[in-house]
Amino acid sequence: MRFSVVFNPNSKYIRTGIRLNENKRYVKYFLAPLSVIILIAIISPSILREGTSSFVQYDKKILPKAPFQFVLLNTNLVVSQGDNATIKLKMKGDQIPQEVYVTDGINSYKLAKENNTNFNYTFKNLQKNMTISFFGGGFNSENHTIIVKARPVVVSMSAQLLYPSYLRKSPEVVQNVGDLLIPEGTIVSWQLQTQNSSRLHFILGDKAHLLQSHEGGFNFKANILRKASYQVIPENEFIKSKDVLSHQIN
C-alpha cells in the first residue's frame, strides 16, 4: 500500500491518506494465501493448532503425528528378577503398519503378529529395569519402563521338634527341613530366613497364616495332630513369589 503525507505549514497536525485505487492491485497477492489459511481452518483446524503448539513448546520433544496409535495393553509392568515379560500392543487407526518393532535403546525386535491390530513380544530373564518404545510405519511411540524387582526367596528353613512327653524323647532340630515324618502331637517350630521378603504366607492344611518379618526372619509354630501338607510363599510390597515350597507331614 502507498501512503501520502501532506504537510500543511500553517498547521501543527500531519494529515495522512490512503490511495485506495492505487492499492487495489496489491489485494490479489493477499487473497490466495488468505484463502488457503481459511480452507485449512475449516477442513483440518488441528494443523493450525499443532503448528502453534510446536512453536510455543519449542523446548519439548514433539513427536510427528502418526495416522495410527500405539496402545500398550499391559496394565502392570512390574516383574520379578529373572522372570519373563510379555508385552502386548494394540494398534489403532486407519493405516496400520504391517510390521511393528520394539526397542530397548540398543537392540530392536520384531513383534509377533496376532491379527491385523494386535502384536506381542516376550522379553526373557529380565535382570534390571528396561525402557522400551515401539516403532513402525515410520513413526515412534512414547517410552515405557519395565520395572524389575528383586525376587523374594526363602534362603533356609529349619524346624525344632518337640515330641510328646510320653515318648521321653529329647527335642530335635532339623536343618533344611522339607517333608516331616513325626509322631502325632509333636509341636513343630519353623524358623525361616528369606531375602527381599517383608511377609510370608505359611499354609498348613487348609489354613493360611500371614507372617511378618521378625529380626530378619519368620517363625511359625503348630501342634501336629494329623497328616497335613504345608506351603511357604514369601512376598514383598511389589511381588508375591511364584516359587512355592510344598511339603508333606506324615
List pLDDT tens digits, range 16-35: 455 555 556 655 665 666 66
All structural domains of the chain, each given as residue ranges with its CATH number in brackets, are 18-62 (no CATH), 68-149 (2.60.40.10), 153-249 (2.60.40)
Residue 233 phi, psi (nearest 5): -135, 105
**Average pLDDT of the residues in 60-69:** 73
pTM: 0.61
pLDDT at 13: 46
What percentage of the chain has pLDDT greater than the value 70? 75
- 221: pLDDT strictly greater than 50: yes
CA–CA separation, 224 and 219 (whole Å): 16
- 115: pLDDT strictly greater than 90: yes
Q: Is the dihedral of CA 53, 58, 60, 62 positive or negative?
A: positive
**Average pLDDT of the residues in 231-247:** 88
Q: Which one is predicted more confidently, 15 or 166?
A: 166
For the stretch 79-114, pLDDT in tens is 999 999 999 999 999 899 999 999 999 999 999 999
Among 169, 174, 241, which Cα is nearest to 201's? Answer: 241
For the stretch 126-156, pLDDT in tens is 999 999 999 999 999 999 999 999 989 999 9
pLDDT at 63: 57
Q: How many CB atoms lie within 10 A of CB 191?
A: 18
Residue matched to cell numbers 511359625:
220
